[in-house]
Each structure stands twice: as structure tokens, then as C-alpha cells.
Structure 1
Amino acid sequence: MTALKLTNVNKSFGPVHVLKDINLTVEEGEFVVFVGPSGCGKSTLLRVIAGLVDASSGTIEIGGDVVNTVPPAKRGIAMVFQSYALYPHLTVKDNMGLGLKQEGRAKSIVEDRVAKASKMLDLDRYLSRRPAELSGGQRQRVAIGRAIVRDPKLFLFDEPLSNLDAALRMNTRVEIAALHRTLSASMIYVTHDQIEAMTLADKIVVLRDGRIEQVGSPMELYNNPANRFVAGFLGSPSMNFLQRSVPGLAPGQTIGIRPEHLTLSGGGQINGKVTHVERLGGDTNLLVITDADETLTVRLFGQDQTDVGATIRLAFDPAHAFYFNDAEERVYQNAA
């Protein structure tokens, strides 16, 4: 069964065309991540799906039903915001159950669902506390629990980890992934963080300037990007793009090489000088200026001893390289 189907969805705010002919299908149980730079339209698209913003044109279907004119509360969705949006005067238990109470659900149903969600999210010991007595990660779990108790057709997450520090982001990311496996629910998750997208998604939707650039699994997009934008957006450190440093490129052509696909080699194709070294323990990043005055990053696994100022040669396997034309489109033949 299809959880969500968007057909030719557009959204304009006055003369500004924010979403442009969005076509997308989310299958039942899929975890889909919208990713892209600030201003690409990902949060607007989520709000159009939720009904918080009306589409200018196009069709939105949730669970097979067209919902363009259906108010948010009737769409069968539950939304988790970046800001938690908890009521400060209510306990954790009451925050989680409030939506069901407002819908007029029986007390026994409210208590049963809150108890199940609380156990799932390890919140039992905090049920009598108020939001001010919780950490940021705990507050976000309460917000997620409030969504779970509604048993929605579709979960919508709008950058839910942005307010957390790095350690909490990783822990909560793991919890959300585990929650998806437990619930087998359909989830749409908005983030600007490509690491969140790569680690959480069954399917990634990459947006730029209100358009979908590419849709696919994380490894499909990483290994087979459709264009330079997608290639550069996914991956950390990001892909290197060179025009002058590699011999044999066609006019207007750019070669893309991921940092982990470059190796130190006396017979390498690229010459350069190390300008900065990041020693991370498990691996080492070298920032290099090539003889053709282009900057690139090399990711070396392990604790490499290369120092700043060293002159090096770098090799790469052409089978792992990507080629782009002057319109930034992927070309699939090797450089001449």
C-alpha cells in the first residue's frame, strides 16, 4: 500500500516559486529522508504534506485518499518538530496523552497508548516530571512519544535533532532508527545533515531550489549520483572536483574523486603540497593544493605521518571516479 503520493505539487508564495512539480511516492513502512541545503524547500514540502501550508497546485494522497482540502488534524499524520512544542505546565504523561484526550478518546485507551509509548522510549521514570526537569534528548523523546500514541498513518519529522549536541544527536538518531524497525511505520524526515540522511533512510530525496534532484537508497545516491550537486552533497568529507589537475579530461569536463579513493603513490596522477593535516585517530585527512592550484581532501585510513609542507603524489582508480560535463550532469564514459 502507498503511504504517500505527491503528483505535480507546486507551491508559490506570491511571485516566489518554492516547490516545483514535485512527484514522489512513499511506500508503506518506508523511512524517507528529505535532504538539501537551507532554502531548498524541504521543510515547506513537509508542511504541505501535513496541511500546515496549502499546495498551490497538484495532488496529495495519504493512504490512498486525496487530502488537499483535509485539515491537518484529519490527515492521519503526526508531526515532531525541532522545537519539541511541549506544554511546560503538563507532566510528561499528560503531554503525551493530550492529543488523544482532545480527540475524545476513552481514558483507558489514552493510558494504554501512553504506557506503551513510554516503555518503548524508556520514559517510564519521567512520566510525572515536567519538561523543564528534562534534558533536551528526553524532551525530544517525549515529543516522539506524543506522535506515537496517535497511531498515525504517517510520521513527519522536521529537523528533530537540530537542537541537540553531537552525542545526543547520535543517540537519538539510533533511537529513531530502532523505533522505525519496531513500529514498521511510514516516516518522512527532514534534515540538512547528510549523515542523518545516510544513516536513517531507506530512501533519500535530494532537493535543490524547490526541485527533486534525485531519489534513491543512500548507497545508490552515494555510488551513482545523477549530477555534480548530488555527488558533492552526500559524503563526508565531500567529493573533490578537479578540472586542471588530472591529465586527459575533455574540454569543460570535471572529474569527481571521493577523498577515500585517493592514495599516496609515487606513481600517482596528481601532484600537490599538503597545507593542513587533521589527525582523527582512526583516520587522517590531508588538505592538498595541487600543482594546478586546485584544492582537494585526501582521507587516509589509520594514523598517517605525513606533515604540513610535504610534497606528495596521489593516485586513484579511474573506475571509482565520476565525470561531469559543463552543465554539471553526470557523463558515464571515462575521460579520453
Structure 2
Amino acid sequence: MTALSLKKVNKSFGSVHVLKDIDIEVEEGEFVVFVGPSGCGKSTLLRVIAGLEDASSGEIHIGDDLVNLTPPSKRGIAMVFQSYALYPHLNVRGNMTLALKQEKQPKEVIDERVEEASRMLDLAPYLDRFPSELSGGQRQRVAIGRAIVRQPKLFLFDEPLSNLDAALRMNTRLEIAHLHEQLGASIIYVTHDQTEAMTLADKIVVLRDGRVEQIGSPMELYNNPANQFVAGFLGSPAMNFLPASLLNEGDDRTMGVRPEDLFLDDDGVIAARVNHVEKLGGDTNVIAKVSDFQITARLFGQQAVEPGQKLRLGFNPQRVYHFNREGARMD
């Protein structure tokens, strides 16, 4: 069953065309991540799905229902915001039960749902605390718990980890993945962080300038990017791009090779001069100049490479991508 269907959805603010002919299908129980750079329209698209913004044209279906004219409270969605949006005067229990009380749900239903959500998110010890008494990670779990108790048709997450430090982001990311497994719920998740997209998604929607560039599983997009933008956006460190003419005179294509597909090779065809070395323990990132272009090589383990050093790099030709002048994939 289809949980969400967007058909030729457009959104304009005055003369500014923000979303352009968006077509997306989300299946029941699927975890779909909208990813793209700042300003690509991903948060606007989420707000259009939620009903917080009206679509200028196109159709939005949640389940079997056309919801273009349906108010947000009637769409069967629950939204988790970047800013948590908790009520400071209510304790954790109060924040989690407010929407259910407004829906006039029976007390036993409210208690049962809060107990279940608290168990899933390890919030039982904090139910009587106020938001000011919680850490950032605990506040985000409360915001997620408030969404869970509503038992929506569709969960919408708008950059929920942006306000957390690196360690909490990883922990909360794992919690969200585990939560999805437990609930089997349909989730739309917006982020600019390609690591979140790669680790959480069943399906990724890559957006640029209000358009869908490519849709597919994380490994589909990583291994078979449709164009240079998608190739450069997914992967860390990012894919290297060089004029193919550096290796093949007269070749007007752009060559793309991922940092992890480069290796030290005394007979390698790429001559480089090291600018900077990131020694990470398990990996060594070598940032180097090739002619007037910068590339990054991700080398396994600890490597005896230093700034200023000249070296040669090899690569597997089967792991090289080529793009035309417009950025479209050619092979």
C-alpha cells in the first residue's frame, strides 16, 4: 500500500518557484530521506506534505486520501521539529499527552500509549521532569515520543538531529533506526547530512533547486549516480572530479573517482603533490594537488605521508565515472 503519493507538486512564493513538478511515492513502512543542500526545497516540501504550506499545484495523497485541502490536524501525520518545540510549562508526560487530551482520547488509552512510547525511548525515569531539566538528546526523544503516541499514518522529521553534538547525533540516529524497526511506520526524514541519509534510509530522494535529481536506495545512488551532482553529494569524503584530458588528451569529459578508490602506486597515472594529511588512526585522508585541481585519497590504515611530498596514485578503471559538460552520467 502507498503511504504517500506526490503528483506534479509545485510550490511558489510569489514569483519564486521553489518546488518544481515533484513526483514521489512512499510505500507503507518505508523510511524515506529527503536530502540536498541548503535552499534545495526539502523542508518546504515537508511542510507542504504536512499542510503547513499549500501546494500551488499538483496532488498530495496520504494513504487513499487526497489531502490538498485537508488541514494539518486531520491529515494523520505527526511532525518532529529541529527545535523540539516542547511546551516549557509542561513536564514530559504533559507534553506527550497534550494532543491526545485535545483529541479527547480515554485516559486508559493515553496511559497505555505513553507507557509504550516511554519504554521504546527510555523516557520512563523522566516523565515528571520539565524540558529545562533535560539534555538536548532527552528533549529530542520527548519530541519523538509525542509523535509516537498519536499513532499517525505518517511521521515527518525535519532535521531532528541538527541541534545535537556529534556523539548524541550518532546515538539518536541509532534510536530512530531502531524505532522504525519496532513501529514499522512510514517515515519522511529531511536532512542536509548525507551520512544520516545513507545510514537511515530505505530510499533517498536527492533534491536540487526544487527538483528531484534521483530516487533510489542508498547503495543504488552511491554506486550508480545519475549525474555529477548526485555523485558528489553522496559519499564522505566527496567524490573527486578531474578533467579526463589530464589522462587522455582530447577527452572533454569529467572523470569522477571516489577517495576510497585511490591508492598509492609508484607506477600510478596520477602525479600529485600533498597539501594536507588527516591522520584519523584507522584511515588517512591525503589532500593533494593534481595540476590545478585538488583531490582527496582515503587510504586504509596509518600511512607515512607528509605535506609537500610528491607521490603517484592509481585507481581501478572499473570504479571511475564519466560525466559530460552538462553533468549527466555517460557510462
TM-score (norm 1): 0.97
Hey, what does 2:131 align to over in structure 1? 131
Question: SS state of the match for residue 272, structure 1?
Answer: strand
Hey, what does 2:142 align to over in structure 1? 142
CA 1:249–1:232: 2 relative to 1, 3 Å: farther
Hey, what does 1:52 align to over in structure 2? 52
Cα offset for 1:331? 0.2
Alpha-carbon distance in structure 2 between the residues aligned to 1:67 and 1:260: 45
Contact persistence 1:246–1:269 (CA under 8 A)? no
Cα offset for 1:246? 3.7
Alpha-carbon distance in structure 2 between the residues aligned to 1:245 and 1:106: 71
Question: SS state of the match for residue 17, structure 2?
Answer: strand
Hey, what does 2:314 align to over in structure 1? 315
Hey, what does 1:271 align to over in structure 2? 271
Contact persistence 1:245–1:270 (CA under 8 A)? no
Alpha-carbon distance in structure 2 between the residues aligned to 1:142 and 1:199: 22
CA offsets, 1:168-217, max 9 Å, x none?
00000000000000000000000000000000000000000000000000
Alpha-carbon distance in structure 2 between the residues aligned to 1:58 and 1:123: 41
Hey, what does 1:233 align to over in structure 2? 233
Alpha-carbon distance in structure 1 between the residues aligned to 2:296 and 2:244: 16
Hey, what does 1:331 align to over in structure 2? 330
Alpha-carbon distance in structure 1 between the residues aligned to 2:71 and 2:244: 55
CA offsets, 1:245-302, max 9 Å, x none?
7412654310000000000001101001111000001100001111x22110000010
Hey, what does 2:9 align to over in structure 1? 9
AA of the residue aligned to 1:206:
V
CA 1:149–1:162: 2 relative to 1, 3 Å: same
Hey, what does 1:195 align to over in structure 2? 195
Q: How does 1:73-112 map to 2 (within 5 A)?
A: 73-112=73-112
Contact persistence 1:276–1:288 (CA under 8 A)? yes
Question: SS state of the match for residue 312, structure 2?
Answer: strand
Contact persistence 2:32–2:189 (CA under 8 A)? yes
Hey, what does 1:242 align to over in structure 2? 242
Question: SS state of the match for residue 147, structure 1?
Answer: helix
* Residue identity (%): 69
CA offsets, 1:61-102, max 9 Å, x none?
001110000000000000000000101111101100110001
- Aligned-CA RMSD value: 0.9
Alpha-carbon distance in structure 1 between the residues aligned to 2:181 and 2:165: 24
Question: SS state of the match for residue 299, structure 1?
Answer: strand
Alpha-carbon distance in structure 2 between the residues aligned to 1:329 and 1:244: 15
AA of the residue aligned to 1:47:
R
Cα offset for 1:317? 0.8
Query: Gapped runs of 5+ residues in structure 1?
Result: none
Hey, what does 2:167 align to over in structure 1? 167
Question: SS state of the match for residue 326, structure 2?
Answer: coil
Contact persistence 1:244–1:294 (CA under 8 A)? no
Contact persistence 1:245–1:294 (CA under 8 A)? no
Hey, what does 1:295 align to over in structure 2? 294
TM-score (norm 2): 0.99
Alpha-carbon distance in structure 1 between the residues aligned to 2:97 and 2:327: 50
AA of the residue aligned to 2:122:
D
Q: Does 1:154 align with 2:154?
A: yes
Hey, what does 1:306 align to over in structure 2? 305
Cα offset for 1:139? 0.2
Hey, what does 2:113 align to over in structure 1? 113
CA 1:65–1:6: 2 relative to 1, 3 Å: same
Question: SS state of the match for residue 198, structure 1?
Answer: helix
AA of the residue aligned to 1:241:
F
**4+ residue segments displaced more than 2 Å:** 249-252
Q: Does 1:207 align with 2:207?
A: yes
Question: SS state of the match for residue 46, structure 2?
Answer: helix
Question: SS state of the match for residue 331, structure 1?
Answer: coil
Contact persistence 2:6–2:23 (CA under 8 A)? yes
Alpha-carbon distance in structure 1 between the residues aligned to 2:30 and 2:249: 41
